[in-house]
Amino acid sequence: MIKIYHNPRCSKSRQGLQLLEDTNQEFEIIKYLDNPLSIKEIREIITTLNIKPIELVRKNEAIWKDNYKNKTLTDNQIIEALQAHPKLIERPIVTNKNLAVIGRPTEQIKTIL
């Protein structure tokens, strides 16, 4: 099942959702700001994306700049920050079985459909 981790307020996330809708495939929308992801779910996404936790962080968010920027953080601490502040998670993330991409640019999503 295809999943999109979606923030309706984000234009890139809305573009990613539109791309999925245009494919006429079934998919699940996960509004991770309304229902924050667990530490386990974040770890699974990072593993599927095959990235380091810091690569999932939106570093221009005020929360990051005010609380975490210029600090030496472990991967676990970064994951805990993502869980505590879901707004820090890059978006959109689209998963399809054992594949995943961050949909920036939106065309990246096509690579796993």
Please give the positions annotated as active site: 10
Q: How far apart are CA 97 and CA 82, in angstroms?
A: 23
Please give the distance of CA 80 from its chain centroid, rounded to a whole number. Answer: 14
Backbone angles phi, psi at 5, to 5 degrees: -90, 110
Residue closest to 69 by CA, chosen among 77, 56, 60: 60
Please give the distance of CA 41 from its chain centroid, rounded to a whole number. Answer: 11
Question: H-type helices in 8-113, by residue range?
Answer: 11-22, 39-49, 62-67, 75-84
